[in-house]
């Protein structure tokens, strides 16, 4: 592999532009580089460690009509990601070594982003019997989740945490007490009442997060909370962390920006689980992310077919695209509001998620000798979201038509350019 020279970038948005020399996938020099090789024109871009998404739905196997590992990997690279965790709610479910090994192999073949399969906690995501966590862990699985469903049986959750501790992996919980969300269609509050939509109460999330924090503390295991959506959950997390619970949490870009005010049009593009909440919640989530109560941003990228979104509200599937808009939404809600600087963006988009999943070669400092997993961001760019222009078949972005700040100009995976100027290099 010939060396790669990234010209004129500002690591973490600090100082004067420098060149970065990458040799054999590793950062070999930072400063003025005379060497020749493949060149990337940084044009003063902010240089960050490659983003890591702990929560992506790639839909393969089973729903390749909505996303494949190839199309999802392209979306990830274009969004600045160098590693993604592919959720287990595929068909067949990733609840055994055969399926997780298939997902990992396809990810390697595509080669645009490190695809880490998430293993299911329970067989078939049915919440009745633990899946073979040990065999999947041996196959390389580091994160287990029944995402889409909550592991609601407290005894089963306790057992999963006990196994995860022994295996040194992490359980990621979709926190939703199912008895409280039967038939739920929208955040339980004024807006849902006005629109005649059945409510999804904040307590259905908060009760499970509180319970799981208690269980994790008791067992001495690590717990990760998926897509935190309420201010009450942030309070529970702050309390649990203060008493020494090993709990981490993620928030999605859409829960940082959007509220249930958007539901007035009944457009199912705004339907997601957990539901869009109130402005007070988005405010609290932003503050919790800035303070480290919420550790990181995860997209919950959830592609859906047109027929599953272009229908009446109650029949539509929940979920939104996220990979190609995440950075811009984080800049809009966290950087442009003064809540995070670029070091903070590196922390919530790369360093913390890599640490939570235990990835040794991602989320690393931009220093000589470190793996060249990098993202270049143009902080001054503005662009208009067009779902039809995204990689992949699905176009269910709630940000359609919005003008957003900042753009990923290039992504580098172990010294190889995986995205450049909005394109996947041939």
Ligand X SMILES: NC(=O)N[C@@H](CC(=O)O)C(=O)O
Residues of the binding site for substrate: 57-59, 89, 273, 304, 318-319
Q: Name the residue nearer to Zn ion (CB basis): 342 or 390.
A: 390
206/300 with CB nearer Zn ion: 300
CB of 398 to Zn ion, least distance (A): 15
User: Judged by CB under 5 A, does residue 174 bind Zn ion?
Assistant: yes
Asked if 89 interacts with ligand X (CB under 6 A), we say yes
- Return the residue of 174, 277, 286, 347 that touches ligand X, per CB under 6 A: 174
User: Pick from Zn ion, ligand X, none: which does 89 bind, CB < 5 to 8 A by kind?
Assistant: ligand X
How many residues line the site for Zn ion (CB under 5 A)?
3
Residue 305 beta carbon to ligand X: minimum distance, rounded to whole angstroms? 11
Between 147 and 260, whose beta carbon lies closer to Zn ion?
A: 147
Tell me whether residue 118 or residue 221 sits nearer to ligand X (CB atom): 118
CB of 308 to ligand X, least distance (A): 9
Closer CB to Zn ion, residue 45 or residue 321? 321
d(CA 224, CA 146): 12
Q: Which of 60, 146, 147, 378 binds Zn ion (CB under 5 A)?
A: 147
Give the dihedral of Cα atoms 271, 399, 325, 323; nearest 10 deg: 30
First to last CA, the chain: 16
Binding characters for ligand X, 314-343, by CB under 6 A (x = yes)? ----xx------------------------
Q: Name the residue number minimizing CB distance to Zn ion.
A: 174
**What part of residues 238-257 is at the interface with ligand X (CB under 6 A)?**
none
Pick from 169, 302, 331, 394 the residue near ligand X by CB under 6 A: 302
- Binding residues for Zn(2+), by number, are 55, 57, 147, 174, 227, 300
**Total residues binding ligand X (CB under 6 A):** 11
What is the chain's length? 426
- What x/- string results for residues 14 through 53 when contact with ligand X is judged by CB under 6 A? ----------------------------------------
The pair of three-digit structure tokens given for residue 54, joined into one six-digit string:
């702990």
Question: Per the residue annotation, which of 95, 212, 300, 378 is the catalytic one?
Answer: 300
Q: Is 300 known to be catalytic?
A: yes
Closer residue to Zn ion, CB minimum distance, 227 or 407: 227
Positions at the binding site = 55, 57-59, 89, 147, 174, 227, 273, 300, 304, 318-319
Binding flag, residue 204, ligand X (CB under 6 A): no
What's the per-residue H, E or C state across the chain?
A: CCCEEEEEEEECCCCCCEEEEEECCEEEEEECCCCCCEEEEEEEEEEEECEEEEEECCCCCCCCCCCCHHHHHHHHHHCCEEEEEECCCCCCCCCCHHHHHHHHHHHHHHCCCEEEECECCEHHHCCCCECCHHHHHHCCCCEECCCCCCCCCHHHHHHHHHHHHHHCCEEEECCCCHHHCCCCCEECCHHHHHHCCCEECHHHHHHHHHHHHHHHHHHCCCEEECCCCCHHHHHHHHHHHHCCCCEEEEECHHHHHCCHHHHHHCCHHHCCCCCCCCHHHHHHHHHHHHHCCCCEECCCECCCCHHHHCCCHHHCCCCECCCCCHHHHHHHHHHCCCCCCHHHHHHHHHHHHHHHHCCCCCCCCCCCCCECCEEEEEEEEEEECCHHHCCCCCCCCCCCCCEEEEEEEEEEECCEEEEECCECCC
What residue 260 binds from Zn ion, ligand X, none (CB within 5 to 8 A, per partner kind)?
A: none
* CA–CA dist 251, 351 (Å, integer): 15
147 binds ligand X (CB under 6 A): yes
- 294-312: buried (b, 16+ CB within 10 Å) or exposed (e) per residue? bbbbbbbbbbbbeebbeee
Lay out the site mask for Zn ion across 290-319 (x = CB under 5 A, - = otherwise): ----------x-------------------
Asked whether position 79 contacts ligand X by CB under 6 A, the answer is no
For residue 48, the number of C-alpha atoms closer than 13 Å in the C-beta half-sphere is: 31
Could you say which of Zn ion, ligand X, none residue 397 binds, taking C-beta under 5 to 8 angstroms by partner kind? none
User: Which entry of ligand X, Zn ion, none binds 318, CB below 5 to 8 A by partner kind?
Assistant: ligand X
- Which active-site residues does the annotation give? 300
Binding site for ligand X (CB under 6 A): 57, 89, 147-148, 174, 272-273, 300, 302, 318-319
Binding site for Zn ion (CB under 5 A): 147, 174, 300
């Amino acid at each position: 592999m010939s060396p790669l020279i990234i010209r004129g970038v500002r690591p973490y948005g600090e100082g004067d532009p420098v060149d970065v020399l990458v040799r054999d996938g590793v950062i070999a020099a930072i400063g003025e580089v005379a060497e020749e090789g493949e060149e990337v024109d940084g044009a003063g871009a902010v240089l960050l460690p490659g983003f890591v998404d702990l929560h992506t739905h790639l839909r393969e196997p089973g729903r390749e009509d909505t996303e494949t590992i190839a199309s999802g990997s392209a979306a990830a690279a274009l969004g600045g990601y160098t590693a993604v965790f592919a959720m287990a709610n595929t068909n067949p479910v990733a609840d055994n070594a055969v399926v997780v090994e298939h997902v990992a192999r396809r990810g390697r073949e595509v080669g645009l982003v490190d695809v880490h399969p998430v293993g299911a906690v329970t067989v078939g995501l049915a919440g009745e019997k633990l899946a073979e966590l040990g065999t999947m862990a041996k196959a390389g699985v580091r994160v287990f989740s029944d995402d889409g469903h909550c592991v609601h049986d407290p005894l089963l959750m306790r057992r999963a945490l006990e196994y995860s501790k022994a295996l040194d992996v992490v359980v990621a919980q979709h926190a939703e007490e199912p008895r409280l969300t039967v038939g739920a269609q929208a955040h339980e509050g004024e807006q849902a009442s006005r629109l005649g939509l059945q409510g999804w109460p904040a307590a259905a999330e908060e009760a499970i997060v509180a319970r799981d924090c208690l269980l994790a503390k008791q067992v001495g295991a690590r717990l990760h909370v998926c897509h935190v959506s309420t201010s009450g959950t942030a309070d529970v997390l702050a309390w649990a962390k203060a008493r020494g619970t090993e709990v981490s949490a993620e928030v999605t870009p859409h829960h940082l920006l959007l509220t249930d005010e958007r539901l007035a049009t009944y457009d199912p593009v705004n339907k997601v689980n957990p539901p869009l909440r109130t402005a007070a919640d988005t405010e609290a989530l932003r503050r919790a992310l800035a303070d480290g109560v919420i550790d990181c941003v995860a997209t919950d990228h959830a592609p859906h077919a047109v027929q599953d979104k272009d229908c009446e509200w109650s029949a539509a599937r929940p979920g939104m695209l996220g990979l190609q808009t995440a950075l811009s939404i984080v800049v809009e809600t966290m950087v442009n509001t003064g809540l995070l600087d670029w070091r903070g963006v590196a922390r919530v988009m790369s360093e913390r998620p890599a640490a939570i999943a235990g990835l040794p070669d991602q989320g690393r400092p931009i220093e000589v000798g470190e793996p060249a997993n990098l993202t270049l961001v143009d902080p001054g760019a503005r662009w208009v979201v067009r779902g039809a222009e995204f990689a992949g078949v699905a176009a269910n972005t709630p940000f359609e038509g919005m003008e957003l700040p900042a753009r990923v100009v290039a992504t580098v995976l172990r010294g190889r350019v995986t995205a450049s100027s909005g394109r996947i290099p041939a």
